[in-house]
Structure 1
Amino acid sequence: MKKIGILGGLGPEATSDYYKELINGFNALNSNGSLDYPEIVIYSVTMSKFIGLLETNRYGEAADYLIQCLNGIKNAGADFAVISANTPHLLFSEIQAKVDLPLISIVDVCAKEAQSVGAKRCGLLGTKFTMNNDFYQKVFSEYNIEVIVPDEQQIEFIHSKLFQELELGIFKDKTKQELLEIVADMKEKQQIDAVILGCTEFPLMFTDDSYCDLPFLNTTRIHVNAIINACLKSENDASK
């Protein structure tokens, strides 16, 4: 199997979830009870540094910071890597162009999953950086899927809850209900037919496959499945 690289820390709760999901995924494949796991390199970045650069519109410096970290992953021997957060994917094309290491995009694999469930109008929940930029829209449009974001007030509410609660490992029932009310509002007013959990902390709160009679696209699990498939594909290719 190929050695996996994970750029994490954005935030730590989601990074831990990636590791657990990967181990669970390989456990499910190892039906004979073997302990055959891939080697994994995790580089946990300083979240305050990265978010601070975004908040001051220093996107070039933010990209350079992640490129530096991904080069560290490459130097540790990883064969490919992922970024275990949605927000940094607004810089994905620039980062991939400057890193000599294959990256699996969370947005690309989520778009394929959305297409597989027949979605046509996906509501996007994430940080304000994710919701106010168009990197999800650009990729999903290639699959003839629209991406809809909440209104400005709702965006600010979601962003504040992410950084004041979820990123700190705080998950409140009240917050969950308030977020579901936003989803219900989008379903009624904007006719969304699926929801993108566009922050990898959200799957820690929304653990079911659907809410409000809508499929919830768990970007962590979708990304992890793509990582596992890449490992298995690499192994099979090597045996040919």
Structure 2
Amino acid sequence: MKKIGIIGGLGPEATIDYYKEIINAFKTESGDLNYPEIIVYSVNMSEFIGLMRLKEYELATIYLSERIESLNRAGAEFAVLSANTPHQLFDQLREKSTIPLISIVEATCVKAKVKGLKRPGLFGTEFTMNASFFHDVFKKEGIEVIMPDKEDKELINYKLFSEIELGIFTDDTRELLIGIIEKMVREQHIDSLILGCTEFPLILEKETYAGIPVLNTTKIHVESIVKFCKGEE
């Protein structure tokens, strides 16, 4: 098995989820405890988000590139970013990296294509929803990614950083998010929803909402990580 490197901390709750999901994928009925070696570099979320808010994308790229290289020096044979937002810089990071990087966006696009989806909605941070990196990847496969309206984007982002990223999951916030999904189905005719922040699966745990399937980017990414670790792709 290849040694896994994870850039974590963006945020910590999702990093824990990644670790648990990867380990669970290797559990067997025989209980042989044959788990992969995993190296986690938990970065300073405030520092990275601060650079993104200032649109200091070159500095943000350097910040993450240096930490990916640290994973390499520690023995990781490939690496992943356990968050959607830094994938805005993925092409630059892949170019600089001395080890392979597995993209959460590319993996999710493959899953959407297999499922025959054509019009997925997207929930994420303000950076993810206002950027084009999801749209650019999905467009190549003839899939149109639909964003919430401006007011709902602001509300989603506020709830992410004031509650969900802090590990606070309330029924009121869950119902609010479900209401936005229902609105997007009704008004924008989405046929699915991308949980484009790896904290969302911690509050939106079902496989469908408002009658449409949910694309859990954490679970999809982990599937790709496990396959690459085993040498299956």
Q: Does 1:23 align with 2:23?
A: yes
Q: Is the 8 A contact 2:5 2:79 kept in 1?
A: yes
* Aligned-partner Cα distance in 1 for 2:166–2:57: 24
- Aligned-residue offset at 1:85: 0.1
- Aligned-residue offset at 1:173: 0.6
- Residue of structure 1 equivalent to 2:49: 51
* Aligned-partner Cα distance in 1 for 2:114–2:174: 27
Find the partner of 1:99 among 97, 100, 122: 97
Q: Which amino acid aligns with 1:211?
A: Y
Q: Is the 8 A contact 2:181 2:210 kept in 1?
A: yes
The percent of aligned pairs where both chains have the same amino acid is 52
- Aligned-residue offset at 1:115: 1.0
Q: Which amino acid aligns with 1:192?
A: I
Contiguous gaps of at least 5 residues in structure 2: none
In the comparison of the two structures, how many residue pairs are matched? Answer: 233
- Aligned-residue offset at 1:233: 1.8
Q: Which amino acid aligns with 2:58?
A: G
* Aligned-partner Cα distance in 2 for 1:12–1:128: 18
Where do 1:57-68 residues align within 5 Å?
A: 57-68=55-66
Contiguous gaps of at least 5 residues in structure 1: none
Q: Which amino acid aligns with 2:225?
A: I
With normalisation by structure 2, the TM-score equals 0.98
* Aligned-partner Cα distance in 2 for 1:145–1:70: 31
- 2:80 counterpart SS class: strand
- Residue of structure 1 equivalent to 2:82: 84
Where do 1:164-179 residues align within 5 Å?
A: 164-179=162-177
* Aligned-partner Cα distance in 1 for 2:170–2:113: 31
- Aligned-residue offset at 1:31: 2.6
- Residue of structure 1 equivalent to 2:2: 2
- 1:170 counterpart SS class: coil
* Aligned-partner Cα distance in 2 for 1:111–1:159: 23
Show structure 1 runs of 4+ deviating over 2 A.
Answer: none
Q: Which amino acid aligns with 1:46?
A: N
Q: Is the 8 A contact 2:2 2:231 kept in 1?
A: no
* Aligned-partner Cα distance in 1 for 2:88–2:199: 17
- 1:146 counterpart SS class: coil
